Amino acid sequence: YFGDIADHIRKIWDGLEDCKEVVDGLADTSNWLTSHRIQEVMRVLTIVMALIAPATLIASIYGMNIYLPGGHEGGPDKDYMPFVVLGMIMLGIALAMLWFFRRRHWL
């Protein structure tokens, strides 16, 4: 009688181990699918950002309250030094970010 019970317990245990392996495989597949979907979304967002970035840069430069070269208020008596300084600051920040990203091996 107890031998039959032990055999049933072994069969149930083996079935549970098989179910555990199936669940582990399904969890791995689910994680892979989620990762793949996130990767696709990030790709699309990167493309959208790359398309919008130039327009944002131009709008932010022309939105500043400084004299801009080629602007209608410009002339020989206007001082364009704030524009040059801000341009140098923006370029410096961009170069610093590029250096940081390369140092971290992100680029």
pTM: 0.58
Domain ranges of the chain: 2-63, 77-107
Residue 75: per-residue pLDDT: 63
φ, ψ for residue 104, nearest 5 deg: -80, 0
Q: Cα separation of 4 and 1, whole Å?
A: 5
Instruction: Quote the CA–CA distance of 86 and 69 in Å, as a whole number.
Output: 13
Q: Residue 80: what residue type?
A: Y
Tens-digit pLDDT profile for residues 59-100: 888 888 887 776 776 666 677 788 888 889 999 999 999 999
Q: Phi and psi dihedrals of 76, rounded to 5?
A: -70, -20
Dump pLDDT digits (tens) for 2-48: 889 999 999 999 999 999 999 999 999 999 999 999 999 999 999 99
Position 22 scores a pLDDT of 97
Q: CA-based angle 72:78:79, to the nearest 5? A: 125
